[in-house]
Amino acid sequence: MRIILAGQGPFGEKTLDALIQGGEDIVGVLCPKGKSGAAMKALAENSGIALFQPGHMKDTEVREAYLRLKPDLVVLAFVTDILPEHLLEIPSIGTICYHPSLLPKHRGSSGINWAVIQGDIRTGLTILWADKGIDTGAILLQKEVDIAPDDTTGSLYFNKLFPMGIDAIVEAVALIKNGKAPKTAQDDSLATYEPPCDEKYAGIDWSKPAREVYNLVRGCDPQPGAYSTLGGQKVKFYAAQLCDLAGEKRPGQIVGIGAGEVVVALNGGALKIGKMKSEKGAKLNADEFAKDVDLKVGMRFGT
């Protein structure tokens, strides 16, 4: 079974390595130029696999590579482009894609972020058959994981959905080779779709309940970084914990600065912040950041 693998970053590189180690016939690799494609490029070249580095999947170069390599299957491992329909028609078996949510819930490019932000306690991954829609194709397989109360988008991805995803792609390829791969239609009545989780959605409303603020902070950690303002300057928060707070304080008010932390009052609790970052500065331990910008107990974010 002739396979083209398209992907980027560590996930694409580890998926390529797993398929090579499994003895799969990888006839071509597509990855971006620059840092995000460097590891895949090196592995493909060292393994004697045809390499292509287009700017976009819609580029003529991609169609020409598909036609020349005659793939049976195309595997998408962390591809952010939407594939043009003509590419989906070329592989004799089809195209499969990794998506980090339990489809049809959390369609879109930020499924992990929104699962955390919305307070889900379980999520997972889907290997689906790609079609012309956005995450609408038939489901091949799914795997579930718990979202721990202190999980961030980063910990959920790197500790759970990343390694599980590589194993799931390998499993999916084996099912296809053995003619046992399901194609289960998604129930569109259960579908949710969220936009990319960027700074437009990362601003903190301190009037929200404590749990909602905490979920936003951990759902935006490490990207795009939940933020508030102080003195007109944007400040981003990371490595946060939700804790109790004795007495009533105005939400957004700094109520403590200690070793490695800044504590901010919430509506029904407090946010213990481990790391902070200004718009143009580096990410620092919260107490170091407080010292650098002269934060004081009693100051209030969002003013």
68, 105: one domain: yes
178, 236: one domain: no
Residue 41 within any structural domain of the chain: yes
Contact 79, 165 (CB under 8 A): no
Q: What is the DSSP string of 7-21?
A: E-HHHHHHHHHHHHH
46, 172: one domain: yes
- The 3 state secondary structure assigned to 203-272 is ECCCCCEHHHHHHHHHHCCCCCCEEEEECCEEEEEEEEEEECCCCCCCCCEEEEEECCEEEEEEECEEEE
121, 270: one domain: no
In the chain, which residues have pLDDT < 70?
Answer: 303
209, 122: one domain: no
64, 89: one domain: yes
Q: What is the pLDDT of residues 48-100, one digit of tens each?
A: 999 999 999 999 999 999 999 999 999 999 998 989 999 999 999 999 999 99
166, 246: one domain: no
Place of tokens 């504590």: 263
β-sheet bridge partners, residue 74: 4, 95
Contact 267, 211 (CB under 8 A): no
The pTM score is 0.96
- In the chain, DSSP assigns E strands to 2-7, 25-30, 50-52, 73-77, 94-99, 122-129, 139-146, 226-230, 233-243, 254-258, 261-266, 269-278, 284-285
Contact 98, 119 (CB under 8 A): no
Supply the pLDDT for residue 303.
67
Domain boundary among 190, 209, 230: 190
Residue 298 within any structural domain of the chain: no
Q: Cα(162)–Cα(169) distance, rounded to whole angstroms?
A: 11
Supply the pLDDT for residue 175.
98
Q: Provide the CA 274 distance to its chain's centre, in angstroms.
A: 22
140, 28: one domain: yes
Q: Cα(95)–Cα(26) distance, rounded to whole angstroms?
A: 14
Domain boundary among 134, 166, 190: 190
Residue 215 within any structural domain of the chain: yes
The CATH code of the domain that includes 258 is 3.10.25.10
Domain boundary among 172, 190, 208: 190
Question: How many domains does one find in the chain?
Answer: 2
186, 271: one domain: no
CB within 8 A of 167, min separation 6: which ones? 18
Residue 194 φ/ψ, nearest 5 degrees: -120, 150
Average pLDDT, the chain: 97
23, 98: one domain: yes
CB within 8 A of 174, min separation 6: which ones? none
Contact 212, 117 (CB under 8 A): no
46, 185: one domain: yes
155, 209: one domain: no
Domain that holds residue 46: 2-190
